[in-house]
Structure 1
């Protein structure tokens, strides 16, 4: 009898868009998006090559061209990266939770309650839709928002994921700087395109990577009450 290969680790890279200002002065939407990938991460080599091409040709003026960041990258770079994502990221690899913030009740608005809850829904959906078996879930985020609440958010995230994920599915949460990991930079690009679509009705970038986006769950779509 042959020994079965262990199930692969599912890497989930996260990014969020919008802000935590629950008033008419804040963003209309908050988006939390994830890219689910299995190793090997083949696109990382292409992005690294492109980064050094930009450095050598001085196309991008940011100091040292440390990393890709969609909101700061110029249109030339942005279009190129979106083309690379469309060609190399597997179809149906991206999920997003969309929050119309004015429909969010006051009790849910504190970041240490709001962020873990939305993250829990997103991760549970991503794991449930994973196309292969999952041996372990590795959740990698950028530095968590709202530094003074960071410890409370980390604790709440672990609690929510423990409740929402199957008990047989081990997981780990790691916090890396987006500058150090292309997975987070990829998530930033997808989330930017999704937020632009919902916040501004701009679908240009979204259309380029539409086949990679599996779901955009408008979590309060059936809600009718607006709190401001």
Structure 2
């Protein structure tokens, strides 16, 4: 049995006030080896280097538009090899008891991974490997990791192994793919810009506005 890989990225911040972002998104890209898309993006990176661009990694919010176009072209042409899921949180509707990082991540990861495992049978995989970008704050990293582990223990079959890794996105093309997918989803919700979202729409298996029926604003 092969391993199931889940790469996570987030958009927005956890400032629950009017000065914070309106939305928070948590997006997963799920895949199994071989990672053909990673090879294509690595080749693209070297193509761009030969064209004169000094790129250490692909990062959607920082890349020039012509670079984003070429990255999204690669992702869009390989949607069959990945699964994209996302939880969208309108933060004003988040109850105050969920505002702590540990509680917030645990709840949102639970909803997100429920959608992933609903259609991806974990019984077919010997282990699940969850990878996030390196988080700068130790407290946030610990809260995020605890939430992931708690969620995996609750959802995975008893004999399924799991790992939680925090890697710099420079080291992983798959994390860079997750960054691009999450950026496209966050842009759609935060600014109404659907250009990039349309390119990956067919690969998005779930995009759940978790408080869509909520009518109470807490700030």
Normalising by the residue count of structure 1, what TM-score does the alignment of the two structures yield?
Answer: 0.89
Quote the residue 1:100 is aligned against: 90
Confirm whether residue 57 of structure 1 aligns to residue 48 of structure 2.
no
Question: 8 Å contact 2:134–2:166 — kept in the other structure?
Answer: yes
Structure 2: state its 5+ residue gaps. none
Confirm whether residue 134 of structure 1 aligns to residue 140 of structure 2.
no
Quote the residue 1:3 is aligned against: none
Normalising by the residue count of structure 2, what TM-score does the alignment of the two structures yield?
Answer: 0.93
For 1:144 and 1:127, the matched residues in 2 are separated by: 25
Quote the residue 1:163 is aligned against: 154
Quote the residue 1:144 is aligned against: 135
Matched residue of 1:135: which SS? strand
- Aligned-pair CA distance for 1:145: 6.1
Correspondent of 1:202 among 171, 181, 193: 193
For 2:91 and 2:41, the matched residues in 1 are separated by: 34
Correspondent of 1:47 among 41, 56, 68: 41
Quote the residue 2:19 is aligned against: 25
Quote the residue 1:213 is aligned against: 204
Quote the residue 2:101 is aligned against: 111
Instruction: Give the CA RMSD over aligned residues.
Output: 1.8
For 2:82 and 2:210, the matched residues in 1 are separated by: 19
Structure 1: state its 5+ residue gaps. 1-6
Q: Which has the larger radius of gyration?
A: 1
In the alignment of these two chains, the number of paired residues is: 218
- Aligned-pair CA distance for 1:169: 3.3
Deviation string, structure 1 residues 102-142 (Cα, Å, up to 9, x no partner) = 01111111112112321122122212212783332111111
Correspondent of 1:84 among 53, 58, 74: 74
Deviation string, structure 1 residues 27-63 (Cα, Å, up to 9, x no partner) = 11100001111110011111111111111111x3xxx
